[in-house]
Amino acid sequence: MRVKVTVLVDDVVGRRGTLAEHGLSLLAEIGADGLETSVLLDAGTTPSVFRHNVEVLGADLSKVDAIVVSHGHYDHTGGLLEALRMVGRRIPVIVHPNAFTPKLAYREALRWIGGPTLREIRDAGGIPLVVTESVILAKKQTGMEEKPIVMTTGEIPRISDFEKVEEFWTVIDGRFVRDEMPDDQAVVIRGDEGIVLLTGCAHSGIINTAWHAQKIAKMERIKAIIGGFHLMSASRERIERTVQELTKLNPELMAPGHCTGLEATNAIMRAFGDRCRPISTGAVIELEV
C-alpha cells in the first residue's frame, strides 16, 4: 500500500514559495489494490496561508474524501472553511463534540483559541460527523473479510502516568473548568507492514495516542509517526520518558513538527538518528506500508 503525506502547513518553511505559520495541516493520499482515497487532517491557522500553500504545492483537494479535525484549537481549524471551499463538494468532517465547547487559554489575559462553528462548517460544504469514537474512513474487501485501512482514533484513553494536558480552559454546565481536551484525536492508516499515525497536537500524549492506535488497528508494528507531539513546553523529565517509550514502540520513521518543540525534536533525533525526519511546510513523505 502506498501512502503519501504532504505537509500543507507547519511552523517552519521547507520549500521555496510556501508560507509557515503556527499551525498544522497534513494531506494523506492512500492507494492500495484499487483503493484510492485522500484524507485531510486539519487545515492550519489562516485561510490565506492554507490556500497559498495548496496552490504552490499543487495539491489536489478535489480528491479529498474526508476532513478530520484533530481538536478544536484555531491553529488546526482556522483554514477549515477555506479547505471545504477548495474541495468544492460536500464531504464528511469528522470532529469530536467537545471541539465546539469554548476553547480558552491564558496568554496573560484570557483568550479564545477556538475554531469555526457547526453551522459555519455546514455552510462551507462540510457534513459534520460529530462523534466520540473511531470512524473508519476507508476499507477494502479481502476475500470474505473487510479490512479497515484508514480510521480516526476517536477519544484517546489517558493511560501513561507522565503525559498531562497543558493548561487550557473551557465552560461545562455553567462552570469555568480545565479543558482536558477529550476532542483530541488522530488518524491511523493500517497497511500490511504496519501503522502510519498522523497526529495534530497529541494533547492526549503521543504515547497514549500510539498505544490507542495499535489497539484499534489491531497491529503492533508502527511504520511512521508524523505530526505534532505537543512537547514544546514539556519538562525535561517528560521529554526523556516520551523518548524512552518511543524507542520501545520502535517506529521506522519519526517525523515531528508543529508543536513538538526544539528540545524534544533534538532528543528524538538523538534517539532515532536518520530515522527522524522533522517535517516542514512543503515536505512530502512517501511510504510503502
Per-residue pLDDT of the chain (289 residues), as tens digits, is 999 999 999 999 999 999 999 999 999 999 988 889 999 999 999 999 999 999 999 999 999 999 999 999 999 999 999 999 999 999 999 999 999 999 999 989 999 999 999 999 999 999 999 999 999 999 987 777 888 999 999 999 999 999 999 889 999 999 999 999 999 999 999 999 999 999 999 999 999 999 999 999 999 999 999 999 999 999 999 999 999 999 999 999 999 999 999 999 999 999 999 999 999 999 999 999 9
Query: Could you give the CA distance from residue 14 to residue 23 in angstroms, rounded to a whole number?
Result: 14
β-strand partners of 141: 146
- Nearest-angstrom CA–CA distance, 63 and 38: 6
Structural domain that includes position 221: 2-288
pLDDT of residue 240: 98
Burial readout 59-93 (b: 16 or more C-beta within 10 A, e: otherwise): bebeebbbbbbbbbbbbbbbbbbbbbebbeeebeb
d(CA 252, CA 242): 16
How far are the Cα atoms of 48, 49, 72 from residue 183, in angstroms, in the given order?
26, 25, 7
Rounded to whole angstroms, how far apart are CA atoms 8 and 94?
A: 19
Question: The domain spanning residue 108 has which CATH number?
Answer: 3.60.15.10
Residues 99, 70 contacting (CB under 8 angstroms): no
Domains in the chain, number: 1
Q: Whole-prediction pTM value?
A: 0.97
The predicted structure's pLDDT at residue 33? 81
Which pLDDT belongs to residue 131? 98
CB 278 within 8 A of CB 256: yes
pLDDT at 34: 82
Measured CA to CA, the distance from residue 178 to residue 183 in angstroms comes to: 13
**What pLDDT was estimated at residue 166?**
85
- Residue 201: per-residue pLDDT: 97
